[in-house]
Structure 1
Amino acid sequence: MAAESVTRRRFLATTAGALVTTSGCVGGVQNLAGRSRTAQLSLRISTVPASEDPYAVWIANHLADNLEASGVDTIVDPMSYDVFLREVLINHEFDIYIGRYPRLRDPDELRSMLYSAYSEEQGWQNPFGFSDPGTDELLDEQRAVSGDDRIDITNEIQQQILNEQPFVVLGVADRISAVRTDRFSGWPDGGLDNPTDYLLLDRAGEETTLELLLQNGRITENRNPLAVEYRDRGTLVGLLYEPLVRTPDGVDEPLPWLARDIAWEESEPTAATVRLRETPWHDGRSVTADDVAFTYEFLADTSLGEYDTAVPTPWRRSHVSLVESVTVEANDRLRIEFTTPNRSLAYRGLSVPILPEHIWRERSDAADLAGVDLSSRTTSALVDPNEAAVGSGFLQFDAAVPKESVSLTVFPEHFLWNGDANGIPARFGGTQPFDRVEFTVVPSQDAAVEVLAEGDADAPADRLQASIVPRIIDTEGISMTRRVPSSFYHVGCNCRRAPLTDPRFRQVLAQHLDRSAIVDEAFDGHGTPSEVPLRGKWVPKELEWNGTASRPFLGSDGDVAVERTQDAFRSAGYQYDGDQLVRRSGQ
């Protein structure tokens, strides 16, 4: 591998945190199509700067080094997080990307990730462009069954992922946080990871303002729950909008939330009558069944039928597709029919954020946005910054300074505070834990620990990296807390582009990644290797991590054994010109 290539790649990966990126591409990506017999195969790895996610950059360099050693010309291309999400999830302009999947708690999310019909949609709907009829059948079948049958089918799906490798699961990094307990107590493990986590806090003194720190300041500029390039998990926006049900961590069954109660029918597919709690939007108008019906229609097609082809939400596509129809029966009552007979799965369809019709209906018109390929139609709903953010959440928007801060205040008319919290455990309602939440953007995680140490904040709102753990432990007045999240790091392959169209190439690519080294070195030991996306009962015994992947790493201690990787590429049908991988036989 030429020293010049290494220097260029390292420069890109380590300095990009100080750059303002306006485009996701440094240059045109050269692939196999139309190249001469002796042209070296090249790949570009898209990721974010080390200042935003050092884990991802370490993984990107690890993969790049190993591919270079195997004869693949490889460049790491870091870009700002919003550009990264736009290029990967909207424009599909990437070869390979390194990222963290936001959350995966139910196998049905795999349907959203891999379903062939979603391959040209925006968002986490099959960003890989993967298409396989056999996998589609399994993804449909897991919706039609329950119990052990669904577990068995999910095992088949995960085995199919390992066979095809549209994405390569690497492992789970612990969610690490640092908290002060002198003003607020009751912090959940790992910090504030979900909207309901905020409700677990208790005042430890007289302070009524919760002070939180952000390194990711996207919510200071954009509060649109549908804007996929600004949302990775949507936790903070989730404070402003309520779904019909919520399932907090540690709770087995979904809790009625905006829904007062849900009466299930004995039918197949299943259906339910939902009664709403009496609660207003933040602007004083009442939340009605019409708003709920509108939300499902709108999320299924944000153009509301304006275009020949629907423009669905780039968020929660699998959730919305579980709902077949919504019929308004009264101002506070509606009947929902689902596309599945599995009641526990149907609950997922009730977890989307409900939107006020009087604000969002007018956002169904056509829109354009710099940097977005509009060959597929885009609506205002997907690009509007939604600065006022009128929802029905227990917090409401107050003020913001772009890139600096955002203030949310308790919404006093919320059902949690007005005595209409029947069915919700007392620990999530009753007493307001604070009157106000102030989010302040800090330049780095070191700065966050410094602010906490000085007593000027209570905790970070986003996660901390493992490298900061020693400083947290050594700082008086703050405590470290962590938990294992449902997100996972992975390598995504653009199956639309050669050679990544070839599953045999993707299989060898996966064997260039040493999961144990990634956890030990990138995560500083604060994580768990894995080669499958799900956990717990959804993982068959043969796929539980035992130290070696089913497609083992072709090397040791993070470095590939070149002869082994070259043999693997040759066995997959590719050729070498000297030490350069040049083409697949017969292509």
Structure 2
Amino acid sequence: MTTRRIRGAALVAAAVTGVAACSAPGGGSGGSGGSGGGAADSVVIGVASEPDTLSPLLGYGKDGNSKIFDGLLARDARLTLKPALATALPRIGDGGLTYSYTLRKGVEFSDGKPLTSADVVYTYNTILDAKTNNSARSELDAVRSVRADGDDKVVFTLKYPYAPFAGRTVLPIVPEHIAGKQDPNTGSFNTEPVGTGPYVLAGWRKGEKLTFKANPRYWGGAPKVKTFTMAIVEDDDVRATRLRSGDLDGAILPPNLAATFKTDKGRRTYDAKSYDYRTVTLPTANKVTGDRAIRQALDAAVDREAMVDKILDGAGRPAYGPLPVDDPWFARDVERPQDLAAARKILDTAGWKPAADGIRARNGARAGFTLLYPSGDKVRQDHALAYASDAKKAGIDVKVESATWEVIEPRMGKDAVLAGFGSTGDPDYGLYTMLHSSLAGDGFNNMGRYDNPAVDQALDTGRRSQDRTVRETAYDTLQRELVKDPGYTFLTHIDHLYVLADRWDGLTTQLEPHEHGFASGPWWNIEAWQPKK
């Protein structure tokens, strides 16, 4: 997880002050582009989170769509891989063990230095270096080596055939002549990036906004949107208020707030399907959530359909696991309705007996635990409260608490968290980091310290096999194992809703991952927008 919610009530208060002042986040009195007739070449977007870093070496932009950087490949609106810094899709050889790329000629970094194969080699080798604090390093586990073949060719050699490897090469490329002279963990490149992308960072006020300007050296042609600002506004209600006041051109909003703009003729709502799901982590180190019977009972007790209808206003789908029901890798027949009778029977059999207040206990231990959710996230709050209500019907007491991420992170190993995950492209991309026991407690990877040998084996098989049938069997086994031994309670898959001033053409949405708002949304291709005529 490379982005997080903005911390502290003070920042929300500052955002409210900005509404009162009605000043666009771009600063100054003119043309920052509020929706009330702002300049067509300037856009201000309200999002809920900001990156910890802008360095791809530490994970920024790893799934593509970074406006500052480019990868060897990119994805189009349908998520199909296409050439970016490379001239073509990779040439695959040696039985799937080598991937060769030829670089596009004439590409320059925004400082005027040319892109070469050495930059690609440096980028990947630095990420693979254990001294670099990149929590997504396991995504490149298959790579044995990266080498330059002249100035314009790069060859990856893999340890084992890895079917979805090409999709990993959307990873942004950084300039060795700048980043290579710094410590990748602490260097200024983390906040002063230089890339080949369509925009350059013009300014970053932490917790407030990031401003980007068109890169005059961009190999893909000059963007029509010359300036865009990402205003960081944690609170959903404040974001909607700023959009309504004209302080923002667009924003990501939860369904209930997006619905309030439906009759606004000057704005359009964009609905993006996603792999983004809300789930409750159930830490194995917690005496209650570590009990499989508790986890099974919670899975049976939850009413996913009601959450979609009442919390998401229909803008989503029930989540029966980490993959949505319409995904081609989804295991058929694992859909399951709420079944409180089954939940109670599971707990009875395991010795969790109801006390006078209806909450169960076993050997003097009460069936209760704390569920944390990030402050300001109304959708997660509503999921947490609905989850607690369902759990209580089965005799499990869930205490819901809001907190900042500074408070949540040290407690993730023992307290449940209303979390969000989901990756596009291939099942390996999101499932391995979430479930494999080797990554237990590694930052936001495997937050609940889930450890299931059958799941580990399925993940390893899915990662290492090139046979589609073998991979399908592995991921089918994994999903069914998660029903028997749920380390998480999967709740809903969420549609992402965006409301924008209707002043541009060329806006589309992609099938989106969990990490949305900042890099995803209708602005995923902002460099291709055209002012309406």
Q: What residue identity is the alignment partner of 1:298?
A: T
CA distance in 2, matches of 1:504, 1:580: 12
Identity of aligned residues (%): 19
Give the alignment partner of residue 494 of structure 1, picking from 262, 283, 287.
Answer: 283
Question: Where do residues 557-576 of structure 1 align in structure 2 (5 Å cutoff)?
Answer: 565-574=343-352
Work out which of the residue numbers 134, 152, 159 in structure 2 matches 1:313. 134
2:192 pairs with 1:388: yes
CA RMSD, aligned part only? 3.7
* Alpha-carbon distance between aligned partners in 1 of 2:189 and 2:304, rounded to the nearest angstrom: 38
The whole-number CA distance in structure 2 between the counterparts of 1:532 and 1:208 is 42
AA at the equivalent of 1:248: D
Tell me which of 519, 522, 530 is aligned to 2:319. Answer: 530
Aligned residues: 336
The CA deviation string for residues 123-147 of structure 1, in whole angstroms up to 9 with x for no partner, is xxxxxxxxxxxxxxxxxxxxxxxxx
2:205 paired with 1:401: yes
2:272 to 476, 483, 486: 483
For residues 534 and 390 of structure 1, do their structure 2 counterparts lie closer, same or farther at Cα, with a shift above 3 Å needed? same
Contact 1:453 1:475 in 2 (8 A): no
Q: Deviations over 1:345-404 (max 9, x none)?
A: 121231222222234345548xxxxxxxxxxxxx537xx782212222211111123332
Match runs of 1:84-233 below 5 Å: 207-216=40-49, 218-219=50-51, 222-225=53-56
Distance in 2, Cα, partners of 1:213 & 1:487: 19
Tell me the residue number matched to 1:520.
309
Partner of 2:176: 357
Aligned residues of 2:233 and 2:239 also touching (Cα < 8 A): yes
Contact 1:576 1:583 in 2 (8 A): no
AA partner of residue 250 (structure 1): R
Equivalent position to 1:240, from 56, 68, 80: 68
What one-letter code is carried by the residue in structure 1 that aligns with 2:124?
Y
Q: Aligned-pair distance for 1:522?
A: 1.9
C-alpha change, 1:246 and 1:509, in structure 2 (3 Å) is same
Where 2:114 maps in the other structure, the secondary structure is coil
CA 1:286–1:553 in 2, change beyond 3 Å: closer, same or farther? farther
Query: What is the CA–CA distance in structure 1 between the aligned matches of 2:147 and 2:189, rounded to whole Å?
Result: 30
How far did residue 326 of structure 1 move? Answer: 1.0
- Separation in 1, partners of 2:169, 2:203: 30
Counterpart Cα distance in 2 of 1:553 and 1:20: 43
Residue 380 of structure 1 aligns with an amino acid whose one-letter code is T
> Which of 412, 423, 435 lines up with 2:226 in the alignment?
435
Give the residue type in structure 1 aligned to 2:75: T
Choose which of 274, 287, 291 in structure 1 pairs with 2:101: 274
Is this contact kept in 2: 1:276–1:333, CA < 8 A? Answer: yes
Q: Distance in 1 between matches of 2:266 and 2:64?
A: 26
- When residues 407 and 584 of structure 1 are mapped into structure 2, their CA distance, relative to the original with a 3 A threshold, is same
Task: Report the AA paired with residue 242 of structure 1.
Answer: D
Displacement after TM superposition at 1:445 (Å): 3.8
Secondary structure, aligned partner of 1:542: coil
Residue from 124, 146, 152 that aligns with 1:326: 146
Q: Partners in 2 of 1:413 and 1:514 — Cα distance?
A: 53
1:223–1:237 Cα contact (<8 Å) kept:
no
The alpha-carbon deviation at position 471 of structure 1 amounts to 1.6
Cross-structure match for 1:508? 297
Aligned with 2:113 (options 285, 291, 295): 285
- The residue type paired with residue 214 of structure 1 is V
Deviation at 1:408? 0.5
| Alpha-carbon spacing, 1:452–1:332, altered in 2? closer, same or farther (3 Å) | same
Counterpart Cα distance in 2 of 1:433 and 1:299: 33
* Alpha-carbon distance change, 180 to 571 in structure 1, aligned in 2, over 3 angstroms: farther
Specify the SS of the correspondent of 1:519. Answer: helix
Partners of 1:319 and 1:351 within 8 A in 2: no
Structure 1 unaligned blocks of 5 or more: 1-15, 22-48, 53-178, 184-204, 304-310, 366-378, 418-430, 556-563
Q: Which residue of 2 aligns with 1:300?
A: 128
- The reply on whether 1:542 has 2:328 as its aligned counterpart is no
Alignment partners' CA distance in 2, 1:468 and 1:206: 26
Distance in 2 (CA, whole Å) between partners of 1:339 and 1:443 is 42
Q: Does the residue aligned with 1:507 lie in a helix, a strand or coil?
A: helix
Amino acid at match of 2:345: D
